Structure formats: C-alpha cells, structure tokens
Amino acid sequence: MNLINRIPSSKSFLSMTIAGVVGGLMVIMGQWILKPTTSMNVAEELPMVSKVSYTNFGNNNANAPSNFVESAKRSTSSVVHIFAEESQESALAKRRRNQSLDPFADFFSLDDFFGNSFSQPQNGSGSGVIYSQDGYIVTNNHVVGFADEITVTDSDGKKYKARKIGTDHSSDLAVIKIEASGLTPMKMGNSDDIQVGEWVLAVGNPFGYLTSTVTAGIISAKGRKLDIIKDKKAIEEFIQTDAAINPGNSGGALVNLEGELIGINTAIAAPTGVFAGYSFAIPSNIVRHVVQDIIQNGGDIERTNLGVGGYDVNEDLVKEFKLKIKNPQGFYVEEVLRTSAAQLGGILSGDVIIGIGDNVIHNYDDIDKALKYNKVGDIIKIRINRNGKEITLPVKLMKAL
C-alpha cells in the first residue's frame, strides 16, 4: 500500500534526526509517504491512499535546453520565504474546541496538575509567490492556515509582517499580503497548455534555510488525484514532476522555460520524508480562480454542493423510468435533501439535470466539475427536463451538507 502524506519542512538538527529515524522505519515497513512540503513542530496524521500509479518519463539530457538561466532570473525574485507561527492563545482555544467536541478529551490531555497545557503552538516555514505589485502573495493553506503571525522574507533578504487575506481548504491554497509596492509579480502561465515531457523549474526555500533554490525536471504526468486534501469538495488535479522539491518548498513556484507560473508546489512522494523522485503542484489555472476569489471576497471560502442523489442517465434508465428525454444523458434526481440548495431552488425528485450555466451535464461528475469553483451564496442557472419539458431554475448555493 502506498501512503500519501504531507511533508513538514525542516527544523532543527534534532527534529531532522527524528524525522530520519521515523522515515527509516517507514522504509522498513515498505510504505510510501506523500507530505506537504512545509515544516511543522507538531506531528499531523498523514492521509493515505492505495495503488497510486506514478508515471515518470525521466530526464533526457540530449534534449535538455542549454541552460535555465533566463527562466531562473525571471522567477526567483518573485518567490519569498514564509515563516508562520501560531500563538499560545490560539493553540489553547483550538484545544478547548476539540474538548467541546470530545467529552473524554480531558482524560487524555497533557495538562499538569495545575491545569497548564503542555500542548505547543504550531510553527513552520514554507514558500510563497508574489501575485501582485501591491503585496498579495499566494501560498499553500497548510503553510499559513494555522498561523496568527506570518513573516515574509523576499529574495533580497528584506523582512515583512504579513496578514492573512483568506484560505481555501478544498484546494490547499491561501493568500497573504504584505505592505509593499513595486514588487515583481510572477507572470501567470496557462497550465492547460503544458505537456508531459516539458521542462520545468521548481523555485522555493527547501529546509527553511536554502533560500531561492532552483531545481529542474520535467512534467511527468497531469491531472493526478491523490486524495491528500481531506475535504468533501477537494479540488485535486496535481501536476506531477521530477523536479526536486523538499520540506520548505510548499507554496513555491513551478515555472516553465519562459519563467511563467504553471503550478504551486505542494507535496512530494518519498519513503524518507525528503525528495525521492515525485513532486506535485497545483495547476496555475486553479490557482488563478481561487486566488481571485479570495482577494475579491476575503475570508475562508466555503465550498458547496447541490444536495441531490440519483443516477446517471443512460438508455436503460430512460426505459425503466419512462423518461421523456431526447438524448439519454444527464443526471436523474431520485432524492432531494431537505433544506438543500436543490430543494429551496425548486428541483424535484424525477427531474433530470441537463445543464448548469454554460455546461452540458452528461452525468454526476459533470455536476461536480460545473460547481468546482462555486461557493456559498452564488446563484447558478440549472436546466432540467421535467416530464419532457425543459425548465431553467435559478438556484442559490448553500453550505455543503
């Protein structure tokens, strides 16, 4: 079985030694770890998947460009180092919330006899990419999501205090902002245009102290779904590359030979907790959608669902339910959840969903894709077939049930 885990970034020599011992035990157990490439001083439970297939075409030096100098020059000045810290107050508040959910939490706490908690606040280091001249920076949610205090260091060594603009757990992206002007944002590339076998660079701050590090590799695969984002509405379409990234690279840039951003480095697959050939990045086209949403609306993005259950339409289903529909496609609604967006929007059991906005719906997967970037409060137009008649319903989306 392959383990898919997030990678903590490097800490002190002691913690690196401990990580090595743990990694060695994992090797002995024959397990693979995929972790986010950031470091934390608190161990976190690692997500798990089985039978993950990794395709790696390897480097072909005969076809390699003569150098990567121009791409590196264009990208390194737009990548920053991030150090994130959680306050003791936040750590205690989080623990109290956990206790309220678990009535037996006190029996397993690490408090002393005087009620003082031994639980420690989290901290960690990662990377970020300058998104705008006025100080917006994109990074991973797992780099800054827990943090109360964030320090950004640019490629020239200048330090800034940053504030959190918002996060999106479903895509593992976050936006922070520093008070600055005249910064050099990274040019956004089109991740849909990238090809397997294309050369790329990874830019970041591995282990927290090897700042502005550049490594090269190729795109090994596209559209990887790894189930490492534990969210009902997780958006996973990772770019796989063999460019070396390590703890501390999370939130850094994956760029093409023109120095354009095509992905945000997020995770690696490795038996020891450090790079062993497989890296994963969030495509820039997902980054563009999510970051613009966070900047415009602020706060944490709440993803949504429609609240329907049923079956994909095919010829057999048309015959079984005697559907009056021209083409055997769409999603047949058998159940509408109470107080869901679908119920409040007027969708009924027996309806066939055939379109959402400009998207034609062939099956339930198409519904998920059509709603991928929508959030709570959005109003969408849903086309349905009801007893042979096509109707368009405006539906206001609600929080996922």
pLDDT in tens, 47-70: 333 333 333 333 444 455 667 999
Q: Residue 326: give its domain's CATH number.
A: 2.30.42.10
pLDDT for 268 equals 86
Let me know whether 113 and 150 are in one domain: no
Give residue 328's pLDDT band: very low, low, confident or very high (50, 70, 90). very high
CA distances (Å), origin 133, targets 70, 82, 251: 21, 18, 18
Q: Average pLDDT for residues 125-129, to the nearest whole number?
A: 96
Please check whether residue 62 lies inside any domain of the structure. Answer: no
Domain boundary among 265, 298, 331: 298
In the residue annotation, 250 being an active-site residue is answered as yes
- Among 286, 186, 283, which residue's Cα sits nearest to residue 240? 283
Cut 0.75: pTM above it:
no
Query: CB–CB of 299/322 below 8 Å?
Result: no
Alpha-carbon distance 25 to 32, whole Å? 11
Let me know whether 214 and 98 are in one domain: no
Q: Which of 172, 242, 293, 366 is catalytic?
A: 172
Count how many domains the chain has: 3
Let me know whether 22 and 102 are in one domain: no
Please check whether residue 170 lies inside any domain of the structure. Answer: yes
Please check whether residue 32 lies inside any domain of the structure. Answer: yes
Tokens of 307: 């609240």
User: Considering the chain, what percentage of its residues have pLDDT values greater than 90?
Assistant: 59
- Among 28, 53, 33, 30, which residue's Cα sits nearest to residue 43? 33
Q: Average pLDDT for residues 347-355, to the nearest whole number?
A: 97
Q: Which of 39, 71, 250, 340 is catalytic?
A: 250
Let me know whether 292 and 380 are in one domain: no
**Which residues are registered as beta bridge partners of 334?**
none
Let me know whether 44 and 137 are in one domain: yes
CA distances (Å), origin 234, targets 17, 304, 330: 33, 11, 23
Secondary structure of 124-178 in HEC code, one letter for each residue: EEEEEEECCCCCEEEEEHHHHCCCCEEEEECCCCCEEEEEEEEEECCCCEEEEEE
Query: CB–CB of 162/134 below 8 Å?
Result: no
Higher pLDDT, 163 or 27: 163
User: Considering the chain, what percentage of its residues have pLDDT values greater than 70?
Assistant: 76
Higher pLDDT, 114 or 276: 276
Tokens of 183: 């910064």
- Enter the DSSP assignment of 350: T
Please check whether residue 61 lies inside any domain of the structure. Answer: no
Domain boundary among 298, 313, 343: 298
Let me know whether 178 and 40 are in one domain: yes
In the residue annotation, 169 being an active-site residue is answered as no
Alpha-carbon distance 114 to 129, whole Å? 45
Let me know whether 107 and 233 are in one domain: no
Please check whether residue 272 lies inside any domain of the structure. Answer: yes
Domain that holds residue 111: 87-121
pLDDT for 283 equals 97
pLDDT in tens, 37-51: 654 433 233 233 333
pLDDT in tens, 2-46: 334 444 444 433 444 445 544 554 444 444 445 566 544 332 332
Let me know whether 41 and 148 are in one domain: yes
In the residue annotation, 142 being an active-site residue is answered as yes
38: left (phi over 0), alpha (psi -120 to 50) or beta: beta
Please check whether residue 197 lies inside any domain of the structure. Answer: yes
Query: CB–CB of 87/3 below 8 Å?
Result: no
CA distances (Å), origin 147, targets 150, 305, 342: 7, 28, 36
- Among 395, 313, 315, which residue's Cα sits nearest to residue 352? 313
pLDDT for 102 equals 55
Tell the residue number behind the tokens 């109707």, with chain if given: 391
pLDDT for 38 equals 53
pLDDT in tens, 128-148: 999 999 999 999 999 999 999
Alpha-carbon distance 95 to 102, whole Å? 10
Let me know whether 75 and 151 are in one domain: yes
